[in-house]
């Protein structure tokens, strides 16, 4: 009897209940579901300024999994799936999925229950993982009808009673943590009524909700929206109910503020490093010394160092890098960095196509307008970087456990060593006669043959295993052993 019971439990468990360790071997492609692909591949117009639904669906994602997998990604993060506020507001429609109106129903704009199951199954059959974005801090109300906030109108299942919510007050730019946790995000135009996550009934209902969500759609991981707006001691119990990898959004530029969240969640999106990295890669004025200091602070302060953090240079809330600089050398350097990072590289959809949108809503362009062209320099760059990371993991069991080290830290260049990878980065840009030179002593075996992932050029380490390299046109160099490159480099040696 017992063995049958165990058997049934196993059968109903998610197909791949991916652990944090499993996720750390992955690279993630972040998708705004409404903007990635339509069900029939019809080329709907999509004016980002309108902030309206443009027609992207879960079916559309399934149709274009080859595109994502060809780039080398083995996980995707999609928009929140719950039913959202309908109709127009001062800030447009809820195409982004962050304005929940019913936790017990799906957002029908994105497809049906079966479509979401199909997406999950399609990913798993390719060995890919599914990360859902979840919003449990708040719901959204159309506007403030009276002094006291919002109407329930049968909305917000299962939180259909006013007593499930904190009383109305806005977070604004308060730095008071109890205000950040218990007041409302949004504003009078689109208030985001805050759930009372201090109330045991809410804790219970959200535990049940996430357990079901994960099970029903065989979800492998969760990106947690607005994690800093809920008390820290809420998270461990909730994470246990979820039973899968959790990565929280803690929007701050302060490492010390972000660090405690790494104790209560599996991981966080590494925003403090992001701000420094954006500065350094968006202009030759940025200084690597500042960025390296921020990265080292995070390595020291977070529970697992930078391991398992989400490493990104773009997302749906921040201006794209190409809106700040169109210098291909700077953009290439930035993309390289995320792949030698200790954490999980996350690429925001559209960067492979050179999309240039500024802040929200301009950074949420429709990908179908690019025709999913794969023969593009940044698409190929991502292919090489994904292949290099995979090869580094395969050739060195310690790759994922060795913290990156910084050498030759200059204002405008740095060498990042994460054996067997060595990334030589610079932000001098392509429009300069100024070169960059990296001297890294004793990084490899004496006279080791190193291959540049990006150019496939071979280089020999010196008698002490050191390298001394000068850059060309501000381009980065990445030097592990990469099989495809080794073959090409060997050919070019004749
Ligand atoms: C809409 C419009 C915007 C308009 C806004 C008022 O309303 O589109 O143009 O300005 C969703 C939608 C948005 C929508 C919002 C609000 O809902 O995607 O389009 O904006 O209705 C998450 C998601 C985000 C999502 C929500 C809401 C939350 O990633 O996509 O937005 O579910 C705060 C939260 C953060 C949240 C973010 C939007 O707001 O903490 O979780 N993101 C400071 C604060 C941060 C604050 C940030 C932006 O400002 O500290 O807490 O984020 O308001 C650094 C500082 C930081 C500073 C940043 C900006 O600069 O160190 O402290 O952050 O240098
Ligand atoms: Ca809250």
Q: Express each pLDDT in 307-318 by its tens digit.
A: 999 999 999 999
Return the structure tokens found at 428.
């001098």
Q: Compute the distance between CA of residue 269 and CA of residue 274 in angstroms, rounded to an integer.
A: 9
Return the structure tokens found at 25.
């071997």
First to last CA, the chain: 69
Distance from residue 205's CA to the centre of ligand 2 (Å)? 15
* HEC sequence for the chain: CHHHHHHHHHHHCCCCCCCHHHHCCCCEEECCHHHHCECCCCCCCCCHHHCCCCCECHHHHHHCHHHHHHCCCCEEEECCCEEECCCCCCCCCCCCCCCEEEEEEECCCCCCHHHHHHHHHHHHHCCCEEEEEECCCECCCCCCCCCCCCCCCCCCCCCCCHHHECCCCECCCCCCHHHHHHCEEECCCCEECEECCCCHHHHHHHHHHHHHHHHHCCCCEEEECCHHHCCHHHHHHHHHHHCCEEEECCCCCCHHHHCCHHHHCCEEECHHHHHHHHHHHHCCCCCHHHHHHHHHHHHHHCCCCCCCCEECCCCCCCCCHHHHCCCHHHHHHHHHHHHHCCCEEEEECCHHHCCCCCCCCCCCCCHHHHCCCCCCHHHHHHHHHHHHHHHHHHHCCCHHHCCCEEEEEECCEEEEEECCEEEEEECCCCCCCCCCEEEECCCCCCCCEEECCCCCCEEECCCCCCEEEECCCCCCEECCCCHHHHHHHHHHHC
Q: Compute the distance between CA of residue 267 and CA of residue 343 in angstroms, rounded to an integer.
A: 9
pLDDT exceeds cutoff 90 at 333:
yes
Predicted local confidence at residue 7, as pLDDT: 33
Predicted local confidence at residue 283, as pLDDT: 94
At 2, is the pLDDT very low, low, confident or very high (cuts 50, 70, 90)? Answer: very low
Distance from residue 317's CA to the centre of ligand 1 (Å)? 7
Q: Compute the distance between CA of residue 124 and CA of residue 394 in angstroms, rounded to an integer.
A: 21
Q: Compute the distance between CA of residue 312 and CA of residue 343 in angstroms, rounded to an integer.
A: 9
Provide mean pLDDT across the span 233-261: 98
What is each CA distance from 84 to 98, 101, 104, in whole angstroms? 7, 5, 11
Distance from residue 436's CA to the centre of ligand 1 (Å)? 37
pLDDT in tens, 51-95: 999 999 999 999 999 999 999 999 999 999 999 999 999 999 999
Choice from 188, 261, 360, 361 to test ligand 1 binding pocket (greatest atom count within 8 A of CB): 360
Distance from residue 185's CA to the centre of ligand 1 (Å)? 8
Closest ligand relative to 226 C-alpha: 1
Write down how long the chain is: 494
Distance from residue 166's CA to the centre of ligand 2 (Å)? 8
* HEC sequence for 221-280: EEEECCHHHCCHHHHHHHHHHHCCEEEECCCCCCHHHHCCHHHHCCEEECHHHHHHHHHH
pLDDT in tens, 158-206: 999 899 999 999 999 999 999 999 999 999 999 999 999 999 999 999 9
Selected catalytic residue, list 249, 270, 314, 327: 249
pLDDT exceeds cutoff 80 at 146:
no
Provide mean pLDDT across the span 113-117: 98
Selected catalytic residue, list 93, 102, 225, 452: 225
Contact in structure between 292 and 300 (CB atoms under 8 Å): no
Residue 226 beta carbon below 6 angstroms from any ligand 1 atom: yes
- For ligand 1, atom 21, the nearest C-alpha belongs to 186
Phi-psi label, residue 352: left if phi above 0, alpha if psi -120 to 50, beta otherwise: alpha
Residue 249 appears among annotated catalytic residues: yes
Residue 249 beta carbon below 6 angstroms from any ligand 1 atom: yes
Q: Looking at the CA of residue 137, tell me the nearest atom of ligand 1.
A: 32
Q: Compute the distance between CA of residue 291 and CA of residue 310 in angstroms, rounded to an integer.
A: 16
pLDDT exceeds cutoff 70 at 321:
yes
* Domains of the chain from N-terminus onward: 15-140+198-397 (3.20.20.80), 406-492 (2.60.40.1180)
Burial class (CB in 10 A: 0-12, 13-18, 19+), 251: middle
Distance from residue 309's CA to the centre of ligand 1 (Å)? 20
Predicted local confidence at residue 346, as pLDDT: 98
Predicted local confidence at residue 236, as pLDDT: 98
Distance from residue 250's CA to the centre of ligand 2 (Å)? 13
What is each CA distance from 223 to 78, 167, 266, 302, 346, in whole angstroms? 9, 27, 11, 18, 12
Mean pLDDT, all residues of the chain: 91
pLDDT exceeds cutoff 80 at 476:
no
pLDDT exceeds cutoff 50 at 22:
yes
Distance from residue 227's CA to the centre of ligand 2 (Å)? 9
Choice from 79, 275, 317 to test ligand 1 binding pocket (greatest atom count within 8 A of CB): 317
Closest ligand relative to 188 C-alpha: 1
Contact in structure between 40 and 56 (CB atoms under 8 Å): no
Q: Compute the distance between CA of residue 27 and CA of residue 62 in angstroms, rounded to an integer.
A: 18
At 395, is the pLDDT very low, low, confident or very high (cuts 50, 70, 90)? Answer: confident
Provide mean pLDDT across the span 363-377: 97
Residue 135 beta carbon below 6 angstroms from any ligand 1 atom: yes
Strands 267-268 and 245-248 come out as parallel
Burial class (CB in 10 A: 0-12, 13-18, 19+), 114: exposed
Residue 91 beta carbon below 6 angstroms from any ligand 1 atom: yes
At 488, is the pLDDT very low, low, confident or very high (cuts 50, 70, 90)? Answer: low
Q: Looking at the CA of residue 138, tell me the nearest atom of ligand 1.
A: 32
Q: Looking at the CA of residue 135, tell me the nearest atom of ligand 1.
A: 32
Q: Which residues, at least 6 apart from 472, have a Cβ–Cβ distance to it below 8 Å?
A: 435
Task: Please identify every residue whose CB atom is under 5 Å from ligand 2, which is an ion.
Answer: 137, 181, 194, 229
pLDDT exceeds cutoff 60 at 15:
no
Residue 170 beta carbon below 6 angstroms from any ligand 1 atom: no
pLDDT in tens, 268-288: 999 999 999 999 999 999 999
Residue 316 beta carbon below 6 angstroms from any ligand 1 atom: yes
- For ligand 1, atom 33, the nearest C-alpha belongs to 251
Q: Looking at the CA of residue 227, tell me the nearest atom of ligand 1.
A: 41
Choice from 101, 173, 251 to test ligand 1 binding pocket (greatest atom count within 8 A of CB): 251
Contact in structure between 423 and 415 (CB atoms under 8 Å): yes
- 424: phi then psi, degrees, rounded to nearest 5: -110, 110
Residue 98 beta carbon below 6 angstroms from any ligand 1 atom: yes
Q: Which residues, at least 6 apart from 372, have a Cβ–Cβ distance to it below 8 Å?
A: 64, 67
Closest ligand relative to 170 C-alpha: 2
Q: Compute the distance between CA of residue 60 and CA of residue 119 in angstroms, rounded to an integer.
A: 9
Predicted local confidence at residue 459, as pLDDT: 83
Residue 275 beta carbon below 6 angstroms from any ligand 1 atom: yes
CA angle 253, 256, 257 (to 5 degrees): 65
Predicted local confidence at residue 3, as pLDDT: 32
Predicted local confidence at residue 153, as pLDDT: 78
| Least confident window among 117-121, 315-319, 358-362, 419-423 | 419-423
Provide mean pLDDT across the span 411-425: 90
Residue 225 appears among annotated catalytic residues: yes
């Amino acid at each position: 009897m017992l063995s049958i019971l165990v058997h049934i439990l196993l059968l109903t468990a998610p197909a791949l209940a991916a652990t944090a360790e499993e996720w750390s071997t992955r690279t993630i492609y972040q998708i705004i579901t409404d903007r990635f692909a339509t069900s029939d591949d019809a080329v709907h117009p999509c004016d980002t300024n309108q902030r309206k639904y443009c027609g992207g669906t879960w079916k559309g994602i399934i149709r274009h999994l080859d595109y994502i997998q060809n780039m080398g990604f083995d996980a995707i993060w999609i928009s929140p799936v719950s039913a959202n506020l309908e109709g127009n507001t001062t800030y447009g429609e809820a195409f982004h999925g962050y304005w929940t109106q019913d936790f017990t129903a799906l957002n029908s704009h994105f497809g049906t229950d079966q479509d979401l199951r199909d997406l999950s199954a399609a990913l798993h059959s390719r060995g890919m993982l599914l990360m859902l974005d979840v919003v449990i801090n708040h719901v959204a109300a159309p506007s403030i009808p009276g002094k006291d906030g919002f109407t329930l109108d049968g909305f917000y299942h299962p939180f259909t009673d006013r007593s499930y919510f904190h009383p109305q007050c806005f977070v604004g730019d308060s730095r008071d943590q109890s205000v950040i946790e218990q007041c409302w995000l949004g504003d009078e135009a689109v208030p985001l009524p805050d759930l009372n996550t201090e109330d045991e009934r809410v804790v219970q209902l959200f535990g049940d909700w996430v357990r079901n969500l994960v099970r029903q759609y065989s979800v492998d991981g969760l990106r947690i929206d607005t994690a800093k707006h809920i008390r820290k001691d809420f998270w461990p119990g909730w994470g246990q109910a979820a039973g899968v990898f959790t990565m929280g959004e803690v929007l701050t530029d302060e490492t010390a503020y972000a660090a405690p969240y790494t104790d209560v969640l599996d991981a966080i999106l590494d925003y403090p490093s992001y701000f420094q990295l954006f500065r350094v890669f968006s202009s030759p004025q940025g200084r690597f010394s500042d960025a390296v200091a921020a990265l080292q602070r995070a390595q020291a302060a977070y529970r697992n160092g930078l391991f398992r953090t989400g490493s990104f240079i773009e997302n749906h809330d921040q201006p794209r890098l190409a809106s700040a600089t169109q210098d291909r050398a700077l953009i290439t350097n930035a993309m390289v960095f995320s792949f030698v990072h200790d954490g999980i590289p996350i690429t925001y959809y559209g960067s492979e196509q050179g999309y240039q949108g500024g802040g929200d809503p301009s950074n949420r362009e429709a990908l179908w307008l690019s025709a999913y062209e794969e023969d593009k320099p940044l698409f190929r760059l991502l292919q090489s970087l994904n292949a290099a990371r995979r090869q580094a993991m395969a050739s060195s069991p310690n790759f994922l456990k060795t913290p990156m080290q910084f050498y030759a830290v200059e204002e405008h260049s740095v060498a990042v060593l994460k054996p067997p990878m060595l990334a030589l980065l610079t932000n001098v840009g392509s429009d300069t006669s100024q070169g960059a030179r990296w001297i890294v002593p004793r990084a490899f075996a004496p006279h080791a043959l190193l291959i540049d992932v990006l150019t496939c050029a071979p280089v020999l380490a010196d008698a002490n295993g050191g390298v001394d390299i000068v850059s060309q046109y501000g381009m980065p160099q990445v030097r592990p052993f990469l099989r495809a490159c080794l073959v090409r480099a060997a050919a070019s040696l004749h």
